[in-house]
Amino acid sequence: MRDESRPALPVNGQNGLNGLNGRNGAHAEAATAATAATKALPRNLAVKCPNCRELLVGKDWEKNLRVCVRCGYHSRLSARERIELLFDDGSFEAFGSDLHSADPLSFVSRTQPYPAYLADYRARAGMDEAVVVGRAHMDGLPIVAAVMDSNFVGGSMGSVVGERVTQAIERAAEERVPLLIVATSGGARMQEGLFALMQMAKTAAALARLAERGVPFICLLTDPTTGGVWASFAALADVIVAEPGAMVGFAGPRVIEQFMHQRLPKDTATAEFALKHGMIDAVAHRRDVRPTLVRLLRMFGAARPA
Amino acid sequence: MRDESRPALPVNGQNGLNGLNGRNGAHAEAATAATAATKALPRNLAVKCPNCRELLVGKDWEKNLRVCVRCGYHSRLSARERIELLFDDGSFEAFGSDLHSADPLSFVSRTQPYPAYLADYRARAGMDEAVVVGRAHMDGLPIVAAVMDSNFVGGSMGSVVGERVTQAIERAAEERVPLLIVATSGGARMQEGLFALMQMAKTAAALARLAERGVPFICLLTDPTTGGVWASFAALADVIVAEPGAMVGFAGPRVIEQFMHQRLPKDTATAEFALKHGMIDAVAHRRDVRPTLVRLLRMFGAARPA
Amino acid sequence: MAYDLEFERPLSDIEKQIHGIERKGEKMKAEDRTQVRELRQRLDHRTDEIYRALTPWQRVQVARHKDRPYTHDYIKLMCDDFFELRGDRRHGDDRAILGGIASLDGKTVMILGNQKGRDTKEKVECNFGLAHAEGYRKAQRIMRQAERFHLPVVTLIDISGASPDLEAEQRGIAGAIAENLQVMAVLRTPVLAIVIGEGGSGGALGISVADRILMLEHAIYTVASPEAAASILWRDAAFASSAAEAMKITAPDLLELRLIEEIIPEPRGGAHHDHRAAADAVKAAILRNIGELERLPVEELLEHRYRRYRDIGAYTREPIGAASV
Amino acid sequence: MAYDLEFERPLSDIEKQIHGIERKGEKMKAEDRTQVRELRQRLDHRTDEIYRALTPWQRVQVARHKDRPYTHDYIKLMCDDFFELRGDRRHGDDRAILGGIASLDGKTVMILGNQKGRDTKEKVECNFGLAHAEGYRKAQRIMRQAERFHLPVVTLIDISGASPDLEAEQRGIAGAIAENLQVMAVLRTPVLAIVIGEGGSGGALGISVADRILMLEHAIYTVASPEAAASILWRDAAFASSAAEAMKITAPDLLELRLIEEIIPEPRGGAHHDHRAAADAVKAAILRNIGELERLPVEELLEHRYRRYRDIGAYTREPIGAASV
Ligand SMILES: [Zn+2]
Ligand SMILES: [Zn+2]
């Protein structure tokens, strides 16, 4: 398996504008392994769409950025894959990677202590936490980015996620460089108790200062963005774009159905639902995300300085 | 009839806390004449409730502040009557009373020029415009007040109403004295065209400065408060109290029914409707209005100075 | 665009003549061509004549013309890029008010405006241009964002009035408009409002508190629709043309009354006869005015804006008029 | 209030004995009276013993006790005057969050808190205390008003969680909570939050970003309800007591973790046994803390508040734990 002592990042992507096709070697294998959608299938031969069950040619699947050509399903991507997809080749420089969870509650659920649980995830997901943060460029324009990964404890937010995101926000504020967060999260990390909940307040406080500085903040919601992340920094962006079909909600449709004892319309708590109800600005196909963000950065960049 | 050259105000009320009972002489007659609810009936003998048609003893009607004891209907009051009801005896000192409409559009509808129309209202309503503004005291606490009167051109807002209200707002801001507006209006005064519409923006702009100064603004909505007054200064108060049953709405129920081609629930666009939908803070019986406002003034007055 | 309004009858007659000759196609002779050329000159001449003398009520017809360019058309024609900001972040995305971040000749601005639908589907989608509370709240969100990023705000006004329905009341249309008036009055960035079609009542005012108000030549801006005013003041909506006259709702009238700053001339026969020319004129006016406003320090800008509205009003010291009763 | 929780069985047994004797009424003899006095002393002693050793899960029972004073009770018992500010000015008046301007010993504050209903009617009215988006927006309105008038804000936390229903999603519960976090972080007036019962998840956080967080002795404050945590982490909601233990949700635990500033002691047997005493203790804590916070210049206050949250987190430089797979 992977060498855990090797920092998960920085990553040097093989491709810029056009995304995920063309990767190779161990790097690509790790990335593929981290994506549930393709885990059980031999790479580059055939992929079964996790949504419509259509059997797709692996090469086409990759070429289409892991979006099903038949039903439009956008499969989940790892942080590493997002970085390759969105940022200029090799432009991503991570910071904040020397932060690790400290288990402040000495948490044990069933028989497993939290540190062992984390170590398992580090091994399985090939990354050290549910977010990576760093500087990057998009079409030459500088940004500060935080990219979440739902493969690591469901993308849940504990102290490290909150701290890294806050560092990214503060960095963006200091350097007056636009902030981009790619969100995906199941919510707060329960194993860190109230420390986890308070990261919502911490990131929101940092964003209040970013806003006072007049630095733009764009958030990309990917499947799923729920709970404490959606109810804190993700919802506070100036511009919010979501991928089609992404689950976007506070409680998530299953919890709502349980609570209400009734079946809900199929689009409940999705990106499209959020758009209809005025919570986000756009639903954009994965292939349009990068050009859209670049356009936004360009227009914000042409604004009169403060 | 009344001498038009006599300024409509200041008024010296006979009574403070308990309202309208006990008035006498020409002053009381003018006040009574101005109230449609009692116009056709001999004073102090019997009054027919305009809502439930119950025949009420005139004395009881007055004692109950012209609220029907049977159905709770709150009849409309003139500005003069409001002033007597709300403010400490003789404490009201008007300003802004030397402003009169100038007919900027040389407006003529059917055969009547706007100036003649206004002169008719001055004679009929016993006041020179749809609002009076001034300084007053409530239980010894100083306020700046603007009191509207629906007897004058339906309480519509033209340049003079907008200007007087703005003067009241600016006075309150300058002297850091709480502002009370008693609203009643059918909307903007069409005979003054865009000058009338722009009074909405003018008063709202003045209120923005009042808010920046941290001076409290309380608004009492009385029947009816609609259109441009509700959609400008009235809705911008820090605390909004309405009398029961008062029509409160942007369009008013008849317009809505016409537009939607359907009958509406009876409470549509009333004070109770506004409370239910989160637009106002309280619906208070006429007898509770003054004590409620005094309590508020007392609490705001005990706040830490800026 | 054809001439299809009632007062344009003389123009559509000439057009018909032209079309009659042109129907000959290949068979047209030299004298036919000469005649067409002369007819076209006459058409232009008569159009200028008629449009120079439009009555207020005729202007209302032009301002409401179904082919008149809408906010969406202007955005498409004026902007080299546009990203729509959607939703009020609380309830919905009112399609009757559109807005977003735009690039005009490389200059970034926030632009927003009323959208009337053209075809039936679009009309239903945007409630025939009648905005709801969430539209004004979306506008407020966009404007506050503009303030944060020091982007000038441009609003395009084209609304007969805010939606007079139950849902509007339930979601607080009055409060939503009122809040916008207050927010716009102290927004710390230049605000330019342009009435492109109908500026109707509080629904128009709710996105038009600005440092300067411009009007297209044939646009109208009014406290109430002529029909509503007529039915109240004349007790008969049929007197709409009298009301339109009496209320002084045209661009030249409002410029004379000093309630607006500038008139943007329209192409011959009205903006709907040449969307591109209309958009070019609007764009030029935006860039020039924004350029001028941005030269002011923000405190001065705000003081001017405050005075602009503070000084609106017409009064005398003594009452005018004598009672008729 | 009777002792009715499971772990209070020994106490209710003693109570029963007391009631049995007291039922004699006039017929009670001197030795009966002596016995009652002794039983009461024993009851007090045993109550103290049991409450000193409450497990986290037992505290959850106390924090959720149906007779525990709610926000409305505290307001009634603490304030010499209170005017309720209702509605979010956009959609509705969420009865699950109450707030208004209040006078505490002549000192004006803005007070707001979660309201659970006591009887069925009230429970339905306030959605069993599960707040909606409009509740958080009302809270924001009240807090901004407090800022404008330089009034300190006091929030009373008692909510199992924000409403997880369709309407909450439709009206943007997540955004409403997020906005409050941001607004409270930079509100230019002192903010004091007191967890009086259940502090549950984002629903509680949405009105508890503060300069200081106080907890009643038997209140809980948690990232997720013990039941939810158990069903996710133990895959069985029956492990709620284990989750309550593991998540460190009690006032003493959170004080030790330095996530709260102070514990307000409760009367013997919990706040529900003596509303008046509980309210007096809370009121004294409010006045003392607000007094201290108001002594700080506002910039200093805000810098402290920012640091208070900025510094929350527990990390190491090197990863801890070894993989088990
Ligand atoms: Zn598929
Ligand atoms: Zn009656």
| Span A205-216, average pLDDT | 97
Distance CA B7, CA B95 (A): 11
Are the CB atoms for D221 and D240 separated by under 8 Å?
A: no
Q: Which two tokens stand for residue D128?
A: 């069993």
| Span C199-213, average pLDDT | 97
The answer to whether the Cα torsion of B15, B17, B22, B28 is positive or negative is: positive
Chains that touch A (3 or more CB pairs under 8 A): C, D
Q: Which two tokens stand for residue D206?
A: 């949405």
Q: Which two tokens stand for residue A145?
A: 């980015």
Q: Phi-psi bin for B193: left (phi > 0), alpha (psi -120 to 50), beta?
A: left
Q: How far is D251 from chain A (nearest CA, A)?
A: 12
Q: Which amino acid appears at position C316 of this protein?
A: T
Chain D residue with Cα closest to B239: D85
Closest partner residue to D259 among A190, A194, A209, by Cβ? Answer: A194
CB contact under 8 A, D306 and A209: yes
Question: Could you tell me which of C108, C60, C94 has the C-alpha nearest to residue C228?
Answer: C60
Are the CB atoms for C214 and C234 separated by under 8 Å?
A: no
Cβ within 8 Å of residue C118, ≥6 positions away: C66, C70
**Domain covering C60-310, topology:** 2-enoyl-CoA Hydratase; Chain A, domain 1 (3.90.226)
For every residue of D290-322, DSSP letters joined together read: HHHHHTS-HHHHHHHHHHHHHT---EESS--S-
Q: What separation in Å is there between the alpha carbon of B65 and the centre of ligand 2?
A: 13
Report pTM. 0.92
Are the CB atoms for C202 and C180 separated by under 8 Å?
A: no
Residue B208 has pLDDT above 60, yes or no: yes
CB contact under 8 A, A278 and C294: no
Distance CA C277, CA C265 (A): 10
Distance CA B256, CA A253 (A): 36
* Cα angle value D141/B147/B38 (rounded, 5°): 120
In tens, the pLDDT along B120-131 reads 999 988 899 999
CB contact under 8 A, B119 and C321: yes
Which residues in chain C (146-175) have CB-CB distances under 8 A to chain B? 162, 164-166, 168-175
In tens, the pLDDT along B65-107 reads 999 999 999 999 999 999 999 999 999 999 988 899 999 999 9
Which residues make beta-bridge pairs with D13?
none
Query: Residue A241: how many CA atoms within 13 Å on its side-chain side?
Result: 22
For every residue of D103-169, DSSP letters joined together read: EETTEEEEEEEE---SSHHHHHHTGGG---HHHHHHHHHHHHHHHHTT--EEEEEEES-S--SHHHH
In tens, the pLDDT along A108-154 reads 988 899 999 999 999 988 899 999 999 999 999 999 999 999 999 99
Percent share of chain A, pLDDT over 90: 74
Q: Which residue has the tokens 């093989």?
A: A14
Q: Which two tokens stand for residue B65?
A: 């502040």
Residue ranges per domain, chain A? 77-299
Within 8 A of C223 by CB-CB distance, chain B residues are 188-190, 192-194, 196-197
Ligand nearest to the CA of B67: 2
Which residues make beta-bridge pairs with D153?
D110, D191
Q: Does D106 touch chain B (CB under 8 A)?
A: yes
Cβ within 8 Å of residue D270, ≥6 positions away: D51, D62, D65, D68, D218
Distance CA A88, CA A12 (A): 10
pLDDT-based confidence at residue B27 (cuts at 50, 70, 90) = very low
CATH architecture of B77-299: Alpha-Beta Complex (3.90)
User: In chain D, how many H helices and how many E strands?
Assistant: 14, 9
pLDDT for res B304: 54
Q: CA-CA distances (angstroms) from residue D134 to B248, B259, D42, D125, D291?
A: 21, 28, 49, 14, 31
Within 8 A of A250 by CB-CB distance, chain D residues are 162, 164, 168-169, 173-174, 177, 202
Residue A13 has pLDDT above 80, yes or no: no
Closest partner residue to B109 among C234, C249, C317, by Cβ? Answer: C234
Q: How far is D61 from chain B (nearest CA, A)?
A: 34
Residue C323 has pLDDT above 90, yes or no: no
Question: Could you tell me which of D105, D110, D272, D103 has the C-alpha nearest to residue D196?
Answer: D272
Q: What is the dihedral of CA C186, C192, C196, C198, to 10 degrees?
A: 20
pLDDT-based confidence at residue A303 (cuts at 50, 70, 90) = low
pLDDT for res A3: 35
In tens, the pLDDT along A94-112 reads 998 889 999 999 999 888 9
Q: What separation in Å is there between the alpha carbon of A116 and the centre of ligand 2?
A: 75
Of D239 and B27, the structure prediction assigns the larger pLDDT to: D239
User: In chain C, how many H helices and how many E strands?
Assistant: 14, 9
For every residue of C292-307, DSSP letters joined together read: HHHTS-HHHHHHHHHH
Are the CB atoms for B248 and B236 separated by under 8 Å?
A: no
Q: What separation in Å is there between the alpha carbon of A174 and the centre of ligand 1?
A: 43
Collapse the DSSP code of C197 into the 3-class scheme (helix H, G, I; strand E, B; otherwise coil) and give the result: strand
Q: CA-CA distances (angstroms) from residue A16 to A19, A65, A90, C227, D162?
A: 6, 12, 9, 59, 42
The answer to whether chain B touches chain A by having 3 or more C-beta pairs less than 8 angstroms apart is: no
The answer to whether chain C touches chain B by having 3 or more C-beta pairs less than 8 angstroms apart is: yes
Q: Is the ipTM of this complex over 0.95?
A: no
Question: Could you tell me which of C276, C273, C220 has the C-alpha nearest to residue C3?
Answer: C273
Closest partner residue to D101 among B211, B235, B299, by Cβ? Answer: B299
Residue D307 has pLDDT above 70, yes or no: yes
Question: Could you tell me which of C56, C83, C64 has the C-alpha nearest to residue C195?
Answer: C64
pLDDT for res B111: 81
Distance CA C192, CA B113 (A): 35
Q: Which amino acid appears at position B103 of this protein?
A: D
Question: Could you tell me which of C161, C155, C77 has the C-alpha nearest to residue C127?
Answer: C161
Mutate to test the interface with A, among D309, D311, D317, D318 (most CBs of A within 10 A): D309
pLDDT for res B9: 30
Angle between helices A159-175 and A193-213 (to 10 degrees): 10
pLDDT for res D26: 87
Question: Could you tell me which of C282, C78, C105, C86 has the C-alpha nearest to residue A302?
Answer: C105
Q: Does D90 touch chain C (CB under 8 A)?
A: yes
Ligand nearest to the CA of A49: 1
Distance CA B163, CA B151 (A): 19
Residue B176 has pLDDT above 90, yes or no: yes
Q: CA-CA distances (angstroms) from residue A107 to A147, B110, B304?
A: 27, 83, 46
| Span C206-223, average pLDDT | 98
In tens, the pLDDT along D228-280 reads 999 999 999 899 999 999 999 999 999 999 999 999 999 999 999 999 999 99
Distance CA C52, CA C167 (A): 42
Q: Which residue has the tokens 């950025």?
A: A65
pLDDT-based confidence at residue A304 (cuts at 50, 70, 90) = low
pLDDT for res C26: 87
Distance CA C123, CA C117 (A): 4
Mutate to test the interface with D, among C88, C89, C90, C136 (most CBs of D within 10 A): C90
Chain D residue with Cα closest to A102: D315
Ligand nearest to the CA of B60: 2
Q: Which residue has the tokens 């508190």?
A: C209
In tens, the pLDDT along A56-93 reads 999 999 999 999 999 999 999 999 999 999 999 999 99
Angle between helices C30-52 and C9-22 (to 10 degrees): 170
For every residue of C19-70, DSSP letters joined together read: HHHHTTGGG--HHHHHHHHHHHHHHHHHHHHHHHT--HHHHHHHHT-TTSPP
Q: Does C138 touch chain D (CB under 8 A)?
A: no
Collapse the DSSP code of D2 into the 3-class scheme (helix H, G, I; strand E, B; otherwise coil) and give the result: coil
Q: CA-CA distances (angstroms) from residue D173 to A158, D136, D162, D176?
A: 21, 8, 8, 5
CB contact under 8 A, D91 and B292: no
pLDDT for res B250: 96
CB contact under 8 A, B296 and D91: no
In tens, the pLDDT along C63-87 reads 999 999 999 999 999 999 999 999 9
Q: How far is D324 from chain A (nearest CA, A)?
A: 6
Q: CA-CA distances (angstroms) from residue A205 to A250, C256, D204, D306?
A: 20, 50, 17, 7
Within 8 A of A189 by CB-CB distance, chain D residues are 223
Residue ranges per domain, chain C? 9-53, 60-310
Are the CB atoms for A298 and A138 separated by under 8 Å?
A: no
Residue D180 has pLDDT above 60, yes or no: yes
Q: CA-CA distances (angstroms) from residue D37 to B305, C82, D15, D44?
A: 54, 81, 12, 11
In tens, the pLDDT along D65-111 reads 999 999 999 999 999 999 999 999 999 999 999 999 999 999 999 99
Distance CA B102, CA C317 (A): 9
Distance CA A250, CA A232 (A): 10
Question: Could you tell me which of D32, D34, D41, D43 has the C-alpha nearest to residue D10?
Answer: D43
Which residues make beta-bridge pairs with A55?
A48
